[in-house]
Amino acid sequence: MIDPIIVYGAGGHAKAVIDTIEKDGRYRIAGLLDGYKPAGTSFYGYEILGDEAWLAANADRVSSGIIAIGDNWKRANIADAIRTINPQFHFVTAIHPTASVARGAAIGAGSVLMAGAIINSDTIIGEHNVLYTHASVDHDCNVGRFVTFAPKAATGGNVSIGDYSVVSMGANIIHGQTIGEHSVIGAGSTVLTSIASHVVAYGTPAKVIRNREAGERYL
C-alpha cells in the first residue's frame, strides 16, 4: 500500500509540489494543512484538513508529509512547529520522474526536486530545499538547509551554499564559489566570486547591493 502523507500549504507553490508528488508515485496525499483556508474546503482536488493542530489530534493517522511553502524562512518555522507537535514526524522527499539524481548524490528530508532538476555526482542537498524546474547543481556541491533554486538556476562544481539562501531564476554560479547563509542571488545574475552571508547580490558579474536580515521577504 502507498503510504499516506499530508502536504502543508495550499498556494501556488503547493500546486507544483503536489504535481511532483503525484508523478513521483511513492506517496498518497491524505489531505492538506493550511492555517489560512477553512477546514473542509478543497484545494487542487484535496481536502483542507486544518492547521498544525490537526497533527496533534491525528498523529496516529498520518505522521509523514512535506511542507509546500515557497518562502525558506516560513518553511523553516512550519517545520519547527510540526516537530514541536510531533517529534517523530517524518518529512519525505518529492522527486519528479524527469529529475536526474546522479550516483553519490544525497537529498535531505523534506526536499523537492521538480521537473528537469539535475543533481550531479556526490552533491549534498540539505533538508527542506526546493529545486524548481530545470534547476541544476553540479558535482561535489554542498547545499545547506531551506535553500531555494528558482527555475533554471545553475551552479558549477564544488559550490557551497549556506542555509536559507536563494538562487533566483536563471542565475549562474561558477565552480568553486561559496554563497553565505540568508543571501539572495538576483535573477539572471552570474556569480564569479564568493558572496557573503546576509546580503542581496545581483548583476553580471554579481555584486553585493545591500545587506539582508534573516527572514526578510524575497518573494
| pLDDT tens readout for residues 53-96 | 898 899 888 899 999 999 999 999 999 999 999 999 999 999 99
Assigned fold of 94-211: UDP N-Acetylglucosamine Acyltransferase; domain 1 (2.160.10)
The verdict on whether omega for the bond into residue 205 sits within 30 degrees of 0, i.e. cis, is yes
> What cell was used for 47?
481536502
- Asked whether the predicted pLDDT for residue 153 surpasses 90, the reply is yes
Q: Which pLDDT value is given to residue 124?
A: 98
Q: Which pLDDT value is given to residue 28?
A: 96
Q: What is the DSSP letter of 14?
A: H
Q: How far is CA 46 from CA 68, 114, 121, in A?
A: 14, 20, 36
- Asked whether the predicted pLDDT for residue 1 surpasses 90, the reply is no
Mean pLDDT score, 137-163 = 98
Q: Does domain 3-91 have CATH number 3.40.50.20?
A: yes
Q: What is the DSSP letter of 154?
A: E
The secondary structure of the chain in percent helix, strand, coil, rounded to multiples of 5, reads 15, 30, 55
Strand order in the sheet with 100-101: 100-101, 118-119, 136-137, 154-155, 172-173, 190-191
What are the residue boundaries of the structural domains of the chain, listed by start?
A: 3-91, 94-211
Per-residue model confidence as pLDDT tens digits over 158-200: 999 999 999 999 999 999 999 999 999 999 999 999 999 999 9
Q: Which residue has the higher pLDDT, 191 or 3?
A: 191
Q: Which pLDDT value is given to residue 66?
A: 98
Mean pLDDT score, 139-144 = 98
How far apart CA 207 and CA 194 sit, in angstroms, is: 10
pTM of the predicted model, to two decimals?
Answer: 0.96
Query: 80 — phi, psi (to 5°)?
Result: -65, -40
How far apart CA 45 and CA 36 sit, in angstroms, is: 17
How do 124-125 and 142-143 pair as beta strands?
parallel
Confidence label for 2 from pLDDT (cuts 50, 70 and 90): confident
Name the average pLDDT for the chain.
96
Q: Which pLDDT value is given to residue 59?
A: 83
Number of H helices and E strands in the chain, helices first, is 3, 25
